[in-house]
C-alpha cells in the first residue's frame, strides 16, 4: 500500500479506515491532501476484501474545512480545479458500492462537514461539532452542502444552519436526523469500529443494492421507474445462491 503524506489508511478484518492526518492544521484540506484523499478513496473502493469504509480525523478535528491560507490565494483556474476535484471526492464516496461511515471525532466544518454528508452514515463523538460557516467569508458551501443537507433534515433547519453559519453539537444533529449515533469521547473509535463491524457482516451485494436504490430515490427518476427497479433488483437477488441458502437456513431453523 502507498504511504501518503496527509492521510493514513489502516485495515482490520473487513473494514478500511481512511484518516485525515494534518492534526496541527485541524486536518484542513489543501490541494495535496485533496489529491491523496481521492486516491485513497478510489483504492479502498477497489478492494473487495473491505466491506465497509470508515473516514475519520487525527487529533481533535475531523476536518476544519479547506486550508484557508492556500484556498484564499488561488487563481481563478486553480479555484476551478479545486472545485472539480472536490466534486470527484464527494462522488467517489457517494457512488461507491460499499458503504462509507463518517466517524466525526471533533470539528467537522465546511468541506469537512460536506465530506461527512456525502457518507452513507455519520457517527460522532459527544464533543463533536459540525457546521457550514462559509457565510462568514461572504461565500456559500461549494461541496454539496446546500443540496445534501436538505436530503437529511427539513428546509427551515437547513436554512438556519446555512444562514447563521453556526456550529452544532453532535447530540443536536442526532435529534435532527443528520447523525446516526453519538458515542462517548473516551472510547469513540472503539464504538465507531464496532458500529462499522456490524455493517460489515451484512451481505455485501444486498448493501450495495440498497445504497444504490436509496440514492436513486433522491433523483428526478420517475417514481414508477424507481419502483420497477426495486422489483427487478429483489428478483435478481432472490434467484441467486446466497439468498436461496439464507432463506432455506431460516426455514430450517424455524421448523426446529
Where are the strands (E) in the chain, listed by range? Answer: 7-12, 15-20, 52-57, 61-63, 100-104, 107-109, 121-125, 129-131, 168-169, 181-183
Contact 219, 225 (CB under 8 A): no
Contact 75, 23 (CB under 8 A): no
Query: Measuring CA to CA, which residue among 197, 16, 23, 11 is closest to residue 106?
Result: 23
**Residue from 134, 160, 191, 209 carrying the catalytic annotation:** 134
Cell of 189: 473509535
114 is catalytic: yes
C-alpha 116: how far from chain center: 4
Determine the angle formed by the axes of helices 76-94 and 31-46, rounding to 10 degrees: 20
**Residue from 114, 191, 209, 224 carrying the catalytic annotation:** 114
Distance from C-alpha of 92 to C-alpha of 161, rounded to nearest angstrom: 25
3-state DSSP assignment of residue 80? helix
* Contacts for 211 with CB less than 8 Å, ≥ 6 apart: 97, 99, 120
Q: Catalytic amino acids?
A: 114, 134
Amino acid at each position: 500500500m502507498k504511504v501518503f503524506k496527509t492521510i493514513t489508511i489502516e485495515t482490520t478484518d473487513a473494514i478500511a479506515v481512511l484518516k485525515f492526518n494534518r492534526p496541527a492544521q485541524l486536518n484542513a484540506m489543501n490541494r495535496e491532501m485533496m489529491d491523496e484523499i481521492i486516491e485513497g478513496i478510489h483504492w479502498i473502493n477497489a478492494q473487495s476484501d473491505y466491506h465497509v469504509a470508515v473516514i475519520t480525523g487525527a487529533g481533535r478535528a475531523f476536518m476544519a474545512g479547506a486550508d484557508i491560507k492556500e484556498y484564499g490565494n488561488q487563481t481563478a483556474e486553480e479555484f476551478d480545479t479545486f472545485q472539480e476535484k472536490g466534486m470527484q471526492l464527494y462522488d467517489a464516496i457517494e457512488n461507491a458500492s460499499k458503504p462509507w461511515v463518517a466517524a466525526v471525532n471533533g470539528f467537522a466544518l465546511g468541506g469537512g462537514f460536506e465530506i461527512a454528508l456525502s457518507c452513507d452514515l455519520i457517527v460522532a463523538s459527544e464533543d463533536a461539532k459540525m457546521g457550514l460557516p462559509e457565510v462568514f467569508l461572504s461565500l456559500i458551501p461549494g461541496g454539496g452542502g446546500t443540496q445534501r443537507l436538505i436530503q437529511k433534515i427539513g428546509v427551515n433547519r437547513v436554512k438556519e444552519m446555512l444562514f447563521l453559519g453556526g456550529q452544532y453539537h453532535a447530540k443536536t444533529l442526532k435529534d435532527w436526523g443528520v447523525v446516526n449515533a453519538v458515542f462517548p469521547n473516551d472510547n469513540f473509535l472503539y464504538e465507531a469500529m464496532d458500529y462499522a463491524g456490524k455493517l460489515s457482516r451484512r451481505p455485501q451485494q444486498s448493501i450495495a443494492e440498497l445504497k444504490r436504490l436509496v440514492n436513486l430515490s433522491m433523483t428526478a427518476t420517475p417514481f414508477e421507474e424507481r419502483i420497477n427497479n426495486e422489483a427487478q433488483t429483489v428478483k435478481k437477488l432472490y434467484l441467486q445462491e446466497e439468498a436461496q441458502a439464507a432463506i432455506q437456513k431460516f426455514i430450517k431453523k424455524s421448523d426446529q
